[in-house]
Structure 1
Amino acid sequence: MKVAPVAGSLLMAALLTACQSDQKKDDMIHLITLDPGHFHAALVQKTMFDGVDSTVHVYAPDGPDVQLHLDKIKGYNARPEDPTHWHEDVYLGTDFLDKMLTDKAGNVVVMAGNNRLKTDYIQKTVGAGFNVLADKPMVISAANFDQLKEAFATAEKNKVLLYDIMTERYEISTMLQRAFSQQADLFGTLEKGTPENPAVTKESVHHFYKNVSGSILTRPSWFMDVAQQGEGIVDVTTHLVDLVQWECFPEQTIDYQKDISLTSARRWTTDMTLSQFKAITKQDAFPDYLKKDVVKDSVLKVYSNGEINYQLRGVHAKVSVIWKYKAPEGTGDTHYSIMRGTKANLIIRQGAEQQYKPTLYIEAVDKNTDLEAALKTVLPNIQKEFPGVEVKKIAKGWEVVIPEKYKEGHEAHFGRVAQKYLDYLKAGALPAWEVPNMISKYYTTTQALELAKKSKSELATK
């Protein structure tokens, strides 16, 4: 059959347009949410993103966890100010993982939920050729550490990106602590420290009873089961260990076999009454899997607290996390951090004096040090990256004055991480240091848990 010249031209144009349309569609990011059980899964969708399809495919077992997730997304869609317009295409069934792997309805899988099977989910998902954005922790036991390493190797082989959600890198006082530590005229060089007086200390306090997106958070019962959520020493400390690496050795590759040496570690419980448990889970009784942790008088003991003392390239660091049930009225989660330099210390405090808002201070190591002169030298360098940042003299040194525009809440940081991940997807690669540093981070936390358990066992036998 012959095609008239004009008709042929129109046909070619139509085919070209169709191909361009398909290519444009292929360039889109199509999100999948797998078994959402933690509110962090919803926070990834608190904002919309350019180049991301508004339809999100959800695969999960039927139950309250996925419903709480979907309710949060509905809330973002219905809010009066800057509403989102996500459409959740939901599959519920016991075969949700196999169904997701077979359907291939998207190209980026978001994981935030029960951590017991997360490492297995990650390995199977990257093995099937999906990109993965996973909430921390990616692994909660030393037994599964090698499996996570294999998942990273598989991701590289399949040319997909496996990345975890490190929101604390986007907290402005932490960003500035890192930036000031790179100014040798002010900070000097990072001290080596000792186990008794580490060069870097990071401490965070969290609460089970919590307000998220304007309402009291309902936590799944398994959140209090360390076999499913993970102990505190391998959960929240993931952020702290990440920040030690990120601040002390920015954009440098950490080799866990050469650069990390554990000194000591410990773990302890937070006690929770049945009435407190009911208030945050909406459940009338402890489930059977928690009864192993319940002592007389119906008190649940949760190993949510932990401390790690270790060396990173010879620098002594200490990280610790504490979980309390509920913060006093008007307060919330808090963070304390110090980096000790040869000339000055950089300290983040977030107590009553700071109205529970993180505040960065610069204090001289030697009282004869002229910090004012040093600040005049380095402040223009800081202001190039953070316009508007100033300093003011106080009794003990200097306070960094941060413009309100930088003071985003924790929930907004999930959008920052997601956008950074989208940028990496567009570039086709993570920075060279990210994968080895993620592996090093999880080596530190999982080995610390083993050390803490061993230390407690040894104490019990003495």
Structure 2
Amino acid sequence: MKNIVGSCAVICSVLFGFSANAQLKENEKVKLITLDPGHFHAALVQKTDLPDIASDVYVYAPKGPDVKSHLDKIDAYNLRKDNPTHWAEIVYTGNDFFDKMIAEKKGNVVVMAGNNQKKTEYIKRSIDAGFNVLGDKPMAIDAEHFEMLKSAFVEAAKRKLVLYDIMTERYEITNALQREFAMIPEIFGQLKKGTPQQPAVEMESIHYFYKYVSGNVLSRPDWFFDTKQQGEGLQDVGVHLVDLTQWECFPDKTISYKRDIKFNSAKRWPSYITLKQFNTITQSNGFPDFLKKYVEKDTLLKVYANGSVNYSLFGTNIKLTAKWAYAAPQGSGDSQNSVLHGTKADLYVRQGEAEKYVPVLYIEPVNPGPDYEKDLMEKLEDVQDKYPGVTLKKEPKGWEVIIPDKYKDGHEAHFGRVTEKYLDYLREGDIPEWEVPNMIAKYYTTTTALALAKGGKN
């Protein structure tokens, strides 16, 4: 490894029909820059070699444990026995790392995954300097940063740059198939409107502070536990839930956030981390000073890592919940459960003990007629054309969707697939018209939910 120490309407009108990035010439490699990597997602973008990306990657970051942890992960990918990567990390760690990145212009795509308090400003300044940006979620954690993000999208459109966030959950096969079946009227019917008390769409994710990444126990930075820097639960991992709701329930439909989104309620509540647990996760020896205002009884850290929002989109009532706990039950890990209620069937993704903690998709019909099973089997063939090998297994309440293992590539592999999609957008200029306005709507939803929850209107 080489090392050198040292508003929506306006946006939509600008973006629709643009041709992405005239900077890339035919057969030109994409040159990555990694900016201030403080989250392991930055390394996962490089877990596999991608032919369109040059092997030299420029890293600009403050000197410290965050950048060291990132480089250690890249080294591990390069040195592994099976399918090693071939990255050459060229690193600058001076205090002026951001200005150095802008001045040197060594690459054309900046990858960001780290401190979320800084990220939105990084995005805006990088776009202003002429860089494309591939940003980890969240790209904004509160209302102030949401306004800055909107400005970044306007500037990106003017400059024909591609600003995009990493939505890995679209590549989880159960989510993708839930979307496929929801688009078949003969099976799903139409998405119900629901009520705030009985929403038509419900999703809940549970994440854990203590976890394994690329085969090793993940060491998190101490600032990860400061929600002013990381964001609260719904504003961080909850971004995936909002994205899946938009993507699955209203495919290819453009959202005007001021017109189409209405809020019912939102709330937030803390998780508690002991001093011993904190030291285990961060490899620290005590709480840093900036976290002590959140410490109770000297040894208990209060982290507002949980949140939920009850809102409507296009008149459809939705409830989303994001939770965090210390460690997963034995044999399990991060999990996500969801249901879409249709007029003909409910589509459930469950990931509990009965499913051995792996996501499973179920089709549960509502008052099925005599021809429902026949229609289901006929329409299954359309799904099989896109996903060969997918079958159905009869269950007491309906059918379990049986998914071949070849589609179950795992969360870490999804980062490469998102990056490939981003490179397509970058080179071909074929980004769908709904992507940018719907990204804006997504962050409007999460950041407005936070303001509502803090206002006590639950």
Structure 1 residue 364 corresponds to structure 2 residue 365 = yes
1:281 and 1:366 map into 2 onto residues whose CA distance is 52
Please name the residue that 2:445 is paired with: 444
Match runs of 1:336-351 below 5 Å: 336-351=337-352
Amino acid at match of 1:60: A
Deviation at residue 26 of structure 1 after TM alignment:
7.4
2:457 and 2:24 map into 1 onto residues whose CA distance is 58
Structure 1 residue 249 corresponds to structure 2 residue 254 = no
Deviation at residue 271 of structure 1 after TM alignment:
0.2
Please name the residue that 1:60 is paired with: 61
Amino acid at match of 1:323: W
Please name the residue that 1:123 is paired with: 124
Match runs of 1:175-324 below 5 Å: 175-324=176-325
Asked which structure has the greater CA Rg, the reply is 1
Report the 3-state secondary structure (helix = DSSP H, G, I; strand = E; otherwise coil) of the residue aligned with 1:88: strand
1:334 and 1:119 map into 2 onto residues whose CA distance is 27
1:59 and 1:357 map into 2 onto residues whose CA distance is 37
2:456 and 2:26 map into 1 onto residues whose CA distance is 55
8 Å CA contact retained: 2:266, 2:457: no
* CA 367–252 in structure 1, closer or farther in 2 if over 3 Å, else same: closer
Please name the residue that 1:5 is paired with: none
1:263 and 1:356 map into 2 onto residues whose CA distance is 32
Please name the residue that 2:17 is paired with: none
TM-score normalised according to structure 1 size: 0.93
Structure 1 residue runs of 4+, over 6 Å off? 22-26
Report the 3-state secondary structure (helix = DSSP H, G, I; strand = E; otherwise coil) of the residue aligned with 2:195: coil
Amino acid at match of 1:59: Y
Amino acid at match of 2:46: Q
2:382 and 2:350 map into 1 onto residues whose CA distance is 24
1:404 and 1:170 map into 2 onto residues whose CA distance is 14
Report the 3-state secondary structure (helix = DSSP H, G, I; strand = E; otherwise coil) of the residue aligned with 2:358: coil
Report the 3-state secondary structure (helix = DSSP H, G, I; strand = E; otherwise coil) of the residue aligned with 1:27: coil
2:283 and 2:188 map into 1 onto residues whose CA distance is 50
Deviation at residue 377 of structure 1 after TM alignment:
2.1
Please name the residue that 1:3 is paired with: none
1:135 and 1:56 map into 2 onto residues whose CA distance is 17
Please name the residue that 1:416 is paired with: 417
2:155 and 2:24 map into 1 onto residues whose CA distance is 26
1:32 and 1:182 map into 2 onto residues whose CA distance is 38
Please name the residue that 1:375 is paired with: 376
Q: Could you list the runs of 5+ residues in structure 1 that have no partner in the other structure? A: 1-21, 458-462
Amino acid at match of 2:94: G
8 Å CA contact retained: 2:254, 2:438: yes
Deviates further, 122-131 or 420-429: 420-429
* CA 369–176 in structure 1, closer or farther in 2 if over 3 Å, else same: farther
Deviation at residue 117 of structure 1 after TM alignment:
1.1
Deviation at residue 370 of structure 1 after TM alignment:
4.7
Deviation at residue 414 of structure 1 after TM alignment:
0.3
Deviation at residue 187 of structure 1 after TM alignment:
0.6
Please name the residue that 1:135 is paired with: 136
Amino acid at match of 2:140: V
Deviates further, 62-71 or 140-149: 140-149
2:159 and 2:379 map into 1 onto residues whose CA distance is 44
Please name the residue that 1:155 is paired with: 156
Report the 3-state secondary structure (helix = DSSP H, G, I; strand = E; otherwise coil) of the residue aligned with 2:66: helix
Please name the residue that 1:435 is paired with: 436
Report the 3-state secondary structure (helix = DSSP H, G, I; strand = E; otherwise coil) of the residue aligned with 2:230: coil
Amino acid at match of 1:308: V
Two-structure CA RMSD over aligned residues (Å): 1.4
Deviation at residue 429 of structure 1 after TM alignment:
4.6
Please name the residue that 1:12 is paired with: none
Deviation at residue 143 of structure 1 after TM alignment:
1.6
* CA 281–315 in structure 1, closer or farther in 2 if over 3 Å, else same: same
- Spell out, residue by residue over 1:36-93, the C-alpha distance to the aligned partner (whole angstroms, 9 max, x if none): 0000000000001112100000000000000000000000001100000100000001
- Spell out, residue by residue over 1:86-121, the C-alpha distance to the aligned partner (whole angstroms, 9 max, x if none): 000000011111000110000000000001111110
Deviation at residue 197 of structure 1 after TM alignment:
0.9
Amino acid at match of 1:102: A
8 Å CA contact retained: 1:264, 1:309: yes
Please name the residue that 2:72 is paired with: 71
Deviation at residue 144 of structure 1 after TM alignment:
1.9
Amino acid at match of 2:250: F
Deviation at residue 368 of structure 1 after TM alignment:
4.9
* CA 340–369 in structure 1, closer or farther in 2 if over 3 Å, else same: farther
Deviation at residue 165 of structure 1 after TM alignment:
0.2
Amino acid at match of 1:394: E
1:421 and 1:23 map into 2 onto residues whose CA distance is 14
8 Å CA contact retained: 2:344, 2:368: no
Structure 1 residue 426 corresponds to structure 2 residue 414 = no
Please name the residue that 2:393 is paired with: 392
Amino acid at match of 1:193: G
8 Å CA contact retained: 2:38, 2:66: yes
Please name the residue that 2:10 is paired with: none
8 Å CA contact retained: 1:192, 1:199: yes
Deviation at residue 297 of structure 1 after TM alignment:
3.9
TM-score normalised according to structure 2 size: 0.93
Please name the residue that 2:166 is paired with: 165
Deviation at residue 371 of structure 1 after TM alignment:
3.5
Deviation at residue 428 of structure 1 after TM alignment:
2.4
Deviation at residue 456 of structure 1 after TM alignment:
6.7
Task: Specify which structure has the bigger relative contact order, considering alpha-carbon pairs within 8 angstroms and separated by 6 or more residues.
Answer: 2
8 Å CA contact retained: 1:343, 1:369: no
8 Å CA contact retained: 2:271, 2:303: yes
Report the 3-state secondary structure (helix = DSSP H, G, I; strand = E; otherwise coil) of the residue aligned with 2:161: coil
Deviation at residue 369 of structure 1 after TM alignment:
6.0
1:347 and 1:26 map into 2 onto residues whose CA distance is 44
State the number of aligned residues. Answer: 436
8 Å CA contact retained: 1:207, 1:323: yes
Deviation at residue 252 of structure 1 after TM alignment:
1.1
Amino acid at match of 1:288: D
* CA 184–380 in structure 1, closer or farther in 2 if over 3 Å, else same: same
8 Å CA contact retained: 2:265, 2:457: no
